[in-house]
Structures are given as structure tokens and as C-alpha cells.
Amino acid sequence: MSTSRREFLYGLNASLGAAAFSSLDAASNPLVAKAGHHSASAKSCIFLYLEGGPSHLDTFDPKPKLTEIDGQQFKNSDKLTSGMARGDRRYVGSPFSFRQVGKSGLWMSEPFQHLATVADELCIYRGCQGESVNHPTANLHMNTGNRFGGDPAIGAWAGYGLGSVNQNLPGFVVLPGAYYPQAGAANWSNGYLPAHFQGTPLRSSGAPILDLNPPLGASRESERKKLDLLAKLEAAHQDRHPEHEALAARMHSYELMYRMQVEVPGVLDIEGETEQIKSLYGIDETATQQFGRSCLLARRLVEKGVRFVQAYSVGWDSHDDLETAHGARIRAVDKPIAGLIQDLKQRDLLDETLIVICGEFGRSPDNSVKRGRVGRDHNPKAMSIVLAGGGVPAGTYVGATDEIGQSAVEEVHPIRDFHVTLLHLLGLNDNKLTYFHGGRFKQLSQVGGEVITGLVG
């Protein structure tokens, strides 16, 4: 009984069009768009997740000192943090050269060619610190605030706090890379929030959503006939069980399904985009085709009112062969990200769209000696998070790491403060965005945190 009243349940975090509300109270739809706690600088967020641990030292945080001491022996006294910090270890200078770009003169490594052209839109935050040296726990920490999983992802919290502008699309969409990130779907979980707030992964081939369409050979007409019979049987059953209030939502979910079969593929069909736009995102080149498509889809989804889009680029775990491996990864995302920023800007959407680019941790200034190979291990104590749009100060740095980039030393904040800041930019106050579960009010930051003021324009 209680469930039915609390949860007029719609959605795949998506849900009903206006007409369907006629028989239901709009106020009880958890997905209806809501005002935040304060005026927001960003209406939506595109979170570009570079999974594997992108190296800050080889992208946005040059360390001349490291080049100077390249090859010298490294010592680490901290035995608890990482089992990697053992054995014969040497400092590793970056294989890439760096130069200053844009009017703002931000530093970027040489493989970034396209991003350099929009450098003045970027805010590079170098003070964030995580806690976990392993990919799955670090991914979960960055995405959900809880290293061990089970908690809602940022996108789920955003949906919970702000609802959804478009009732026919999910409010939180995930565009996975070639493979799922470590820790899998828990990275976009609704956790203890109601299931509507779960991130919906859209597949790049085949049906974008599992079981969106009937099996081969079934026509839309046969689907309609079956749904009509189901509706009749349901109506009779509801008459027999007026006490069972949850039933109304069930039939509505079938009607929504019928509509989504048309709506979802429509958003994902990029054939209508001009060749110029496709080229801007690098969709016409093999190396950038996959992530370019994700970035373009992210823009299309945001335009349609999706609140939170997360797109993954995988494969950033370069323990060895840093130059080749990171070089290839950078080239795979460079043009797509720059294209996204330019495209949003030319559509006047950049100001209201917050772009976040980061991974689960940065990388170490040192490496164990492996037959002369150059690489880096995991390093949660330092990383670079790149932000753009959505009211963040453009063309600036916030925070800094030490002279070898081993640890953040200025504007140092734990991940939870970064989360609090993201919510803040979206108009939400972490301390007010709470959910009662397991005997206490829970929040994204777990224990409360503070806004990183430098990131708020």
C-alpha cells in the first residue's frame, strides 16, 4: 500500500508525457522538473570520464623538475597507501613537450592540438585528492562518493534534486566506451534512491536500450494489439482490486514504453547532423570516431533536456609505454572534446552546460624499473580535473601540485568537496539534498563538505 502512494513510479528515469498525467497527480511524479536550492549557473552537466587514470603529469600539469631528475632513484616511506610503492623505483619525466596556449596561457602537452584552440574556456583544477589506488573503488568514489559502491551516482542525485525537463527521455544517460568501466554499472547506480534515478546506458550498436524493441519480426501493429488486450485485462483487474493503488502506474509504464520506441532512436540518430558538425567532433576519423559520437550525442541529449550525461573514454591506465599509450588516448579525445565545447558555444549552450573532464585518479611521478619502459602507476593524491562552461571561471588554474606532481598542495580538497561543488553549480546544496536511508539522512558527500570557491565563477 505504502509503496504505491509514495512512488507514482515512472520512468526509466524517464516517463510520462503531459497527457498521461491527466489521471495522476503531477506533484507525485518524482521526475517532474524542480527548482534547485539556489539559482544555478549550469542547467545540465556533461561529464567526460577518462577511465583508467589519466596522467596529470603528461596532460595539464607540467613538471620541469621531474624531467631534471628523470631516472634518479625514488623513495617512498608510506607503506600503507599503496602496494605499488615498493622495489626499485625511478622518477619519470614526461615524454611529451609542453607549451602555453590561448590568451590565458594554460599549459598543455603537445598531443593536445584541438583542445588548445579552446583553452580560454577551460578551468583546470589541480587540488583534488582521492583515497583509493584501485580502479573500481576509485571509480566508485569519483562517481558515487562511496568507494565501496551501493550509493547513488552524482547524476542520480542531480535527477533526484532537479527532476527531468524532458519526461520522455531518461534524466541521466550514460554513454559507455568500448567496454564498461571497472566496477561496472555500479558507477551509474541509483543506489538507495528510487530506481527512476538510475543512469541509463545507451548502447552504440543494436537497440540503444535493452529490450527496447520486440523480437525480430514483430510489427508495431502487433505490439499495439497486444497492449490493447493487456490494457483491457488490466482495467478489469483494477476494478476487482481498487485497493491496489500501484496498478495504475504499471499500465502507464507500458504506454510509455510504446512511445519511447520512437523517441529514443530519434535522439540517437545523428544522420541529420551536417557533415561539418560530424567533422567538428572527429566522427569522420577512425581514431576519434567513437568518442566523437559520444560527445555529439551528449550535446543532442542535453539539447533535449537530459540533465546529466556521462560519456566514457576507456584505456587510460598507462603503466608502461606512456608516450604511445597516453598519446593515442589523448588523440582519441582531443578533437571530440574541443568540438563539443565549440559546438555548445556556437549554440549559446556552453554557459548553461557544465563540462567535467576527469578520471578516477592521476598518476605517479615515479615507476618501478621495467626493462627501460616509461610509464606511471596510480596516484590518488594528485590529478587534473578540467572544467568548462556552466559558470566556472574560464582560462584559469585552481590549486597546484608539488614540484614533482606527487601530491596536491594548494586548494587541496577531497573528492567530496568536488562533488559538493558540482552540485552547487547545478543549483543544489549537498547539505539539503538528502535521502533518508538505513536510519539516517544520507548525502552525496557522505559526511558533508564544502564548495571549492575557486571553481565557482
Partner 1 sequence: MAQSLSVAFAVLSLARLSAEVVVSDERFDRGVVEIEFQLTPEKLERGAHGGWDFFDGETKQLWIGTGWGGDAGRWGIWTPAGNRRDFREPVAVGKSVHLRARIEFGTAVAGDELVTLSLVEGETEREVARLEKARITAINQARSFVRSGGGYEFGGLELSAAKESISAVALFQDRVQPMFAEKCLACHGDDEAKIKGGLDMRTRAGLLAGGESGLPTLVPGKPEESLLYLAATWQDPEFEMPPKVNDRLSEAQLADLRNWIEAGAPWVEKKILPTPDFEGKFGQWSEPDSVGKVRVITSRAQSESWANRGYEPGTLWAYQVPVSQKPPSNQHPIDGFIEARLKEAKIEPAPRARPTELVRRLTYSLTGLPPTAKQLQAESGTLMEELLESPHYGERMAQHWLDVTRYADSNGFSRDEVRPDAHQYRSYVIESFNRDKPYDQFVREQIAGDELGIAGQEALAFLWMGPWEITNMTSAAVARQMWLDDVVNSIGVTFLGHELRCAKCHDHKFDPIPTRDYYAMQAVFGATKHHVRGGQFKIQPQSPQTVSILKGGALESPTEIVSPGFLSAVAISNQSPVPSGSRGRRAALANWIASPENPFTARVIVNRVWQMHFGRGLVATPNNFGVNGMTPSHPELLDWLAVWFVEEGWSLKELHRLILTSETYQRSTQHPQPSRLKERDPENQRLAVFSPRRLTAEEIRDSMLIATGELNRRVGGPGFRAEINWEVAFQPRLAMGKLVPPWEPEPTRAERNRRSLYANRIRNLGHPLMEVFNRPNSGLSCEKRDETTVVTQAFTLFHSEFSNQRSLALADRVVRLSGTQDVSTLVEATFQTVLGRAPDLSEAQDAEQLVQERLVHHRSHPPEPVALPTEVQMTNVVEKTGEEKITTFRLNALRNYERDLQPWQVGPETRALAELALVLFNTSEFLHVY
Write out the binding residues for partner 1, residues 50-79 only, by CB under 8 A: 79
Q: Please, which of residues 19-38 interact with partner 1 by CB under 8 A?
A: 25, 27-28, 30
As a whole number of angstroms, the distance between CA 246 and CA 239 comes to 13
Q: Does 257 bind partner 1 (CB under 8 A)?
A: yes
Q: Does 241 bind partner 1 (CB under 8 A)?
A: yes
Q: Does 250 bind partner 1 (CB under 8 A)?
A: yes
- For residue 65, the minimal CB distance to partner 1 (Å) is 26
As a whole number of angstroms, the distance between CA 126 and CA 112 comes to 18
| Single residue of 94, 137, 144, 384 touching partner 1 by CB under 8 A | 137
Q: The C-alpha cell of 247 is what?
A: 496498478
- For residue 143, the minimal CB distance to partner 1 (Å) is 14
Task: Give me the helices (H) in 7-72, please.
Answer: 64-68
Q: Please, which of residues 140-179 interact with partner 1 by CB under 8 A?
A: 148-150, 177-179
| Single residue of 14, 154, 356, 426 touching partner 1 by CB under 8 A | 14
Q: The C-alpha cell of 124 is what?
A: 583546470
Q: Please, which of residues 380-439 interact with partner 1 by CB under 8 A?
A: 429, 431-432, 434-439
311, 155 Cβ separation under 8 angstroms: no
| Single residue of 44, 182, 379, 384 touching partner 1 by CB under 8 A | 182
As a whole number of angstroms, the distance between CA 92 and CA 95 comes to 9
Q: Does 370 bind partner 1 (CB under 8 A)?
A: no
Number of residues that bind partner 1 (CB under 8 A): 109
As a whole number of angstroms, the distance between CA 39 and CA 428 comes to 9
39, 378 Cβ separation under 8 angstroms: no
Q: Please choose, from the candidates 355, 335, 332, the residue with its C-alpha nearest in 3D space to the C-alpha of residue 345.
A: 355
Q: Does 87 bind partner 1 (CB under 8 A)?
A: no
Helix crossing, 220-240 with 247-268: angle to 10°? Answer: 160
- For residue 265, the minimal CB distance to partner 1 (Å) is 14
Q: Please, which of residues 102-131 interact with partner 1 by CB under 8 A?
A: none
| Single residue of 327, 389, 405, 414 touching partner 1 by CB under 8 A | 327
Residue 228: count of CB within 10 angstroms of its CB = 10
Segment near partner 1 (CB under 8 A), from 42-50, 91-99, 113-121, 223-231?
A: 223-231
- For residue 104, the minimal CB distance to partner 1 (Å) is 28
In single-letter form, the type of residue at position 343 comes to D
- For residue 337, the minimal CB distance to partner 1 (Å) is 16
Residue 43: count of CB within 10 angstroms of its CB = 19
Q: Does 216 bind partner 1 (CB under 8 A)?
A: yes
Q: Does 17 bind partner 1 (CB under 8 A)?
A: no
Positive or negative torsion for Cα 141, 145, 148, 152: negative
As a whole number of angstroms, the distance between CA 298 and CA 313 comes to 13
| Single residue of 225, 262, 284, 346 touching partner 1 by CB under 8 A | 225
Backbone angles phi, psi at 353, to 5 degrees: -120, 120
Segment near partner 1 (CB under 8 A), from 195-203, 337-345, 355-363, 386-394?
A: 195-203
